[in-house]
Homo-oligomer: A and B are copies of this chain.
Amino acid sequence: MPLDDAAQDTLFRSARTHNKWTATPVPDAMLQALYDLLKMGPTSANSSPARFVFVRTPEAKERLRPALSAGNLEKTMAAPVTVIVAYDPRFYDELPKLFPHADARSWFAGNEALAEETAFRNGTLQGAYLIMAARALGLDCGPMSGFDRAKVDEAFFAGRGWKSNFLVNLGCSRARPGSISTRPASSPDSSSLIRQA
């Protein structure tokens, strides 16, 4: 069954990248529901290499602060939650549990380049599922790449080996659709992007 137009609007057409946040907190149950949805999105061999840190406390926000670019600083400190979307390059150690049908661990163990590429690709897919799941739950999102990945890795993942990928602010926006849009007027022109072979 296709989704109705209103649901498609919520996910895609009227959704925006948000920068101004109300103080309304995002409860634990909402974060759990978010994870429980996004984890169902498809990844290669169910590898699920993404790792998520939900940064909420003032102390944790302060650990994030030195890594943020100037343009992303104020909005990120104000957001009820900032998700660090990361990935584990050693994700394959979980494959005997996540994909027991085959010896999938052996596809990646000892092939660092393939493991890194697979972790980055599939961890990024899961980051997109997080954005879509958040919108499906009625949350507003502000995804960003403007930060120092090495500083985040040092502050949050020292000794663990996870790598930060991108950040997503979550909460209730002060600029709901219809008021302020951060979307540029120009969308990619489909005629220049689609080739039918």
Q: Does A121 contact B (CB under 8 A)?
A: yes
Query: Is there contact, CB below 8 Å, between B101 and A56?
Result: no
Query: Is there contact, CB below 8 Å, between B32 and A12?
Result: no
Query: Is there contact, CB below 8 Å, between B131 and A183?
Result: no
Q: Does A165 contact B (CB under 8 A)?
A: yes
Query: Is there contact, CB below 8 Å, between B55 and A37?
Result: no
Within the complex, what minimum Cβ distance (angstroms) separates A131 from chain B? 7
Within the complex, what minimum Cβ distance (angstroms) separates A129 from chain B? 6
Query: Is there contact, CB below 8 Å, between B129 and A197?
Result: no
What is the size, in residues, of chain A's interface with B at 8 Å between Cβ atoms? Answer: 75
Given contacts A1-B6, A46-B183, A145-B118, contact A11 B132 (CB under 8 A): yes
Within the complex, what minimum Cβ distance (angstroms) separates A183 from chain B? 7
Q: Does A24 contact B (CB under 8 A)?
A: no
A-B interface, 6 closest residue pairs, ranked by CB to CB distance from nearest: A128-B128, A2-B138, A60-B197, A124-B124, A12-B40, A48-B188
Q: Pick 19 A–B contacts, CB within 8 A, sort by A.
A: A1-B6, A2-B137, A11-B133, A12-B37, A12-B41, A13-B40, A31-B194, A35-B194, A42-B141, A50-B193, A53-B194, A56-B196, A98-B186, A98-B188, A121-B124, A121-B145, A125-B128, A125-B131, A128-B128
Q: Which residues of A contact B (CB under 8 A)?
A: 1-4, 6-8, 10-13, 15, 17, 31-32, 35-42, 44, 46, 48, 50-57, 60, 63, 94, 97-101, 118, 120-121, 124-129, 131-133, 136-138, 141, 143-145, 156, 165-166, 183-184, 186-188, 190, 193-197
Given contacts A12-B37, A101-B184, A132-B132, 15 further A-B contacts (CB under 8 A): A7-B7, A11-B133, A17-B42, A31-B196, A32-B190, A39-B187, A48-B193, A52-B195, A53-B195, A63-B197, A97-B186, A99-B184, A121-B145, A125-B128, A125-B131
